Amino acid sequence: MQYVSTRNKNQKCSAAQAIAQGLASDGGLLTPEVLPKLSPNGLSTMTDMSYQQRAVFVMGSYLDDFTASELSSFASKAYGKDKFDVKDVAPVRQVDESTYCLELWHGPTCAFKDMALQMLPHLLSAALVKNEEQKTVCILVATSGDTGKAALEGFRDVDKTRILVFYPKDGVSDIQKLQMRTQEGENVAVCAVEGNFDDAQTGVKKLFSDPELRETLAGRGFFFSSANSINWGRILPQIVYYVSAYCDLLREGRLQKGDPINICVPTGNFGNILSAYYAKQMGVPVNRLICASNQNNVLTDFIKTGVYDRNRPFYNTMSPSMDILISSNLERLLFEFTERDDEAVKGYMDALAAEGRYEVSEKVKKRLDRTFAAGFCGDQETQAMIAKMWKSHNYLIDTHTAVAFHVLEQYRAETGDQTPSLVVSTASPFKFCDNVLGALGVTELAQGLGIIDQLSQVTGVPAPAPLEALKGKAVRFDQVTDKAHMADQVLEILK
Ligand SMILES: *Cc1c(COP(=O)(O)O)cnc(C)c1O
C-alpha cells in the first residue's frame, strides 16, 4: 500500500518511507492511499486473540512492506509484561449499564502516548533498514510533559536510534520533570531549556532547519527525525486499541455482532480521535465519535459550525495535554471528508497559516454532523466530575479523562442518545495528583513525590509501579541550556 500527501495525492511513498520521513515534503500529512476494511468476520476472528495478535492483524493491513513475523516481534516487545502492568494492555472497564472506559495508561509512563510510542521505535528502526539508511537517526523532541517521557521510554536502547528531549525548565510538573531526569538507557539524553514550552519548541524547530548543524552531524553519521503525532507510525498503533476494545465487548457479551457504540475521546492534537475514525472506517460499528475539549474549545466550535478559528485566548488548564489551538491531525480528517480533494485541503491549511481561520464546505459540514459530536468542559466541571466518579462509582480518574466523562454526560442529556458508549481514559490519575486530590476535597498537599503516597492513602488505590519507583531513582540529567545554545548541547551529546 502506498501513502500520499494530504496536500498532493500524486506525491506517493511506501509505508517505510512514510514512517521514516514523518511529514511529506510539501508540508502535508502522509496518509494511506486507500483505507483498508476488515473482512465481514474480521472482528469475530479477533475476539479470541491477544492484544499483541490484534495489533499484528490490524497494523498488517496498512503495512504491506512489513512481514507478519516482523510485526509479531514488534508487538511482543512493545506490549510485553515488562512494559504494561496488565495482560490485556488496554483493558475495558465497565462503569455502568451502558458506559465503558478504555484505560490507555497501563504502560511505562502512565499516559496513553505509550500505546504508540512503545511501537513507533520498532517500526522506525525497521523502516530505516528497508530504506537502506546507513546513518543513525536522532529523534529530537520538545515536550510539555507526557510526550517527552513516553518517547524516551519507547526509544530507550533501540538499535540505530538516539533520542534527545528538551523540556521547559519551569513548564512541566515536578513528577514529569523527575520522570525525564531519571531516564535510563544508553542512547538517551534530556536537557532543560530556560523559558517556557514555546521557547523549547521554537529552539527544536531551529535545530531541524539548521543546515550547518545537519551537515556536521551527517559527517558523524547522524540525521534528525521527529516522533510527534503527525507521524503515521503514531496514528496506526492507536487504531488497534479501538478495534481491540470492540472485540473485548463482544467477547464479554456486552455487545452483539454489529451493535453500534459511541466513542468519547479527550482531544488535543486530534491524533487519538482520528485513530477512532479510522477504526470506524475499517468496519468497527461506531455510531458517533464525541470530541471532548477543555476550555481551549476550538474543536468544539469547528465541529458545531464548520469554522476553524484559532484566533482566541489560550488557557492553561488542569488538562494540560489538551491545551492546544492548532490540532494538526485534523488535516487527515479533512482529506477524507473532502473525498480526498488535496487542493481543498491545501486551501484550508494555507488559510489557517495566513489568517488562523478557515471555513469548510457544506458537504464537509454535513459529514462532520453525521459522524461527530463535540463539547467542552472547564476546570471546575473537570474536578466536579472526578469527585462524582469517585463517589458514585469508586473509580479514580485523571483530569483529561474527566473532561471526556463530562462531555459524554452533556451529550446524552442534550440528545437522549442511549447507545452504549466507550470513554477513553488517557492518563493515570497519579500523574496529576494535585488537581485530583483537590477534586476530592484535600487542601493540604504533600511536598514533592509525597503527593503520590498521599493520593494513594486518601483513596486506597495503589500508585502505578513506574511512578512509585521514581523515589529510588538517581537523577542522570541535570543540564540546563538557554535557547541560543541548544545546538551546542546537540553537538556535545552526539559526539
Ligand atoms: C496527548 C494527550 C491527549 C490528547 O491526545 P491527542 O491525540 O493529541 O488528541 C489527551 N490526554 C492526555 C493525557 C495526553 O497525554
Answer whether 140's CB lies under 8 Å from 222's CB.
no
H/E run at residue 222: strand 222-225
The owner of cell 504502560 is 107
- Mean residue pLDDT across the chain: 94
pLDDT, tens only, 215-231? 999 999 999 888 888 89
pLDDT at residue 25 in the model: 84
pLDDT, tens only, 276-308? 999 999 999 999 999 999 999 999 999 999 999
Q: Would residue 330 count as lying in a domain?
A: yes
Q: Would residue 80 count as lying in a domain?
A: no
What dihedral angle (degrees, nearest 10) is formed by the CA atoms of 231, 237, 243, 248? Answer: -150
Report the alpha-carbon distance of residue 148 to residue 166 in Å, rounded: 8
pLDDT at residue 440 in the model: 98
pLDDT at residue 197 in the model: 78
Closest ligand 1 atom, CA of 398? Answer: 13
- CATH code at position 259: 3.40.50.1100
Q: Would residue 16 count as lying in a domain?
A: no
Q: Does the structure show a pLDDT above 80 at 170? A: no
pLDDT at residue 208 in the model: 83
Kindly report the backbone phi and psi dihedral angles of residue 139, in degrees, each rounded to the nearest multiple of 5, phi listed first.
-85, 125
Kindly report the backbone phi and psi dihedral angles of residue 158, in degrees, each rounded to the nearest multiple of 5, phi listed first.
-85, 130
Name the nearest CA neighbour of 274 among 324, 320, 335: 335
Q: Return the SS3 of 157.
A: coil
Nearest CA to ligand 1 atom 8: 269
pLDDT, tens only, 42-94? 999 999 999 999 999 999 999 999 999 999 999 999 999 999 999 999 999 99
Kindly report the backbone phi and psi dihedral angles of residue 191, in degrees, each rounded to the nearest multiple of 5, phi listed first.
-145, 135
First to last CA, the chain: 38
294 lines ligand 1 (CB under 6 A): no
pLDDT band at 378 (very low <50, low <70, confident <90, very high): very high
What is the average per-residue pLDDT within 184-205? 89
Which listed residue (9, 113, 130, 365) is catalytic? 113
Report the alpha-carbon distance of residue 342 to residue 404 in Å, rounded: 32
Q: How far is the CA of 167 from the centre of ligand 1 (A)?
A: 17
pLDDT band at 154 (very low <50, low <70, confident <90, very high): very high
Q: Would residue 405 count as lying in a domain?
A: yes
Q: Would residue 31 count as lying in a domain?
A: no
400 lines ligand 1 (CB under 6 A): yes
pLDDT at residue 339 in the model: 97
Q: Kindly report the CA angle at 337 between 334 and 342, in degrees rounded to 5?
A: 55
**How many residues appear in the chain?**
495
pLDDT at residue 145 in the model: 75
Is 113 catalytic? The answer is yes
403 lines ligand 1 (CB under 6 A): no
Integer angstrom CA distances of residue 16 from 48, 62, 89, 192: 30, 11, 26, 32
Q: Does the structure show a pLDDT above 80 at 28? A: yes
Q: How far is the CA of 146 from the centre of ligand 1 (A)?
A: 9
Cell digits for 487? 545546538
Q: Could you tell me which residue, 22 or 278, shows the higher pLDDT?
A: 278
Cell digits for 121? 521505535
The owner of cell 530556560 is 194
332 lines ligand 1 (CB under 6 A): no
267 lines ligand 1 (CB under 6 A): yes
Q: Could you tell me which residue, 145 or 359, shows the higher pLDDT?
A: 359
Answer whether 373's CB lies under 8 Å from 411's CB.
yes
- Domain around 266: 87-111+236-431
The domain tally of the chain equals 1
Q: Does the structure show a pLDDT above 90 at 155? A: yes
Q: Would residue 388 count as lying in a domain?
A: yes
What is the average per-residue pLDDT within 240-251? 98
Q: Would residue 455 count as lying in a domain?
A: no
Answer whether 171's CB lies under 8 Å from 320's CB.
no
Q: How far is the CA of 470 from the centre of ligand 1 (A)?
A: 23
What is the average per-residue pLDDT within 369-376? 98
Q: Would residue 424 count as lying in a domain?
A: yes
